Amino acid sequence: MSVQMIQQRLLSYNCKTDIEEQQAIREITQEVVLAALGRGDFFKYALFQGGTCLRIFYGLNRFSEDLDFILQKPAPDFQLKNYLRHLTDELSAYGYNIEITDREKADSTIKKAFLKDGSLGKVIHLRHSKQTGTPAKIKIKLEVDTNPPLGSGYELQYLDFPFVSAVAVQDKPSLFAGKIHALLCRDYIKGRDWYDFIWYTSQGIGINYEFLASAINQIGSWQNRNVKTDKIWVLEELEKKITSLNWKQVSKDVRPFIRSNEQASLNLWSKELFLGQLRKLKRIIQ
């Protein structure tokens, strides 16, 4: 019965291509993992963040790869493995034969684990993957920041698949602040960050400046400089970044993560498009 739940969930995506089908399977698995973590009291201490959080709980129209979390309070002795032990049993009930690799390092503030499964395609029907001969392989990375920037807001959200569970997530202004930090401080260009920027600015979401200032001061070019991350600073730095990028190149990163009917919109990515979104942001934020 539990395997049938996965099958029905997959059918609801109405996938048009092999890539969409693979992304859908991963997202379904992400939801199962989140529900299992919730049942294991993980969200008493952690907050869900990142693109997958936006996708599942706030309606972002792109797929995402990883499950990213921060602790609600810094805790250097936090052990991710304490919450991984029951995942194998939870997932096996839904037809998974999951392999979990714990990559925790004692001296690292970022705790990591990798989930892999190559057997789900043998127990559910895959329209596109089997037509192309591509095996359904699931790979999901879990990361927990045990020394996160201070000042995040949060709220409680609920999943109703595969069972009802509660997930503590960063609120939208804090998620946007984290995204701006990534846009300005990530040491490589990630097109998905800019896709999310369009979403944030189109939604009229404000910025949690306290969380942004803490993140800017912790990691990146402005580390330990106590920069005043107000409206003027944010707009100036984003404009510098937007005018410096090769937008055709940036858009390539996003293509595998959006549905076929949205692909054409990536051809419109340009300096002018993003400066227009920046002007929207200027009218939104204080």
pLDDT digits (tens, 9 = 90+) for 181-205: 999 999 999 999 999 999 999 999 9
pLDDT in tens, the chain (286 residues): 588 999 999 999 999 888 899 999 999 999 999 999 999 899 999 999 999 999 999 999 999 999 999 999 999 899 998 898 888 888 888 888 889 998 877 668 999 999 999 777 666 777 766 555 555 679 999 999 999 999 999 999 999 999 999 999 999 999 999 999 999 999 999 999 999 999 999 999 999 999 999 999 999 999 999 999 999 999 999 999 999 999 999 999 999 999 999 999 999 999 999 999 999 999 999 8
CA atoms within 13 A on the CB side of 35: 20
User: Measuring CA to CA, which residue among 149, 139, 204, 172 is closest to residue 57?
Assistant: 172
Domains observed in the chain: 1-170 (3.10.450.620), 172-286 (no CATH)
Q: Which residues are registered as beta bridge partners of 102? A: 113
| Sign of the CA dihedral running 252, 235, 63, 219 | positive
Tokens at 133, concatenated:
């001969």
Buried b (16+ CB within 10 A) or exposed e, 87-116: beebbeebbbebebeeebeeeeeebbbebe
Tokens for 26, please give them. Answer: 């991963």
The pTM of the full predicted model, rounded to 2 decimals, is: 0.93
Could you tell me the sign of the dihedral formed by the alpha carbons of 245, 249, 255, 260, in that order?
positive
* Tens-place pLDDT, residues 134-157: 556 799 999 999 999 999 999 999
Give me the torsion for CA of 6, 54, 22, 158, rounded to 10°: -10
Whats the size of the chain, residue-wise? Answer: 286
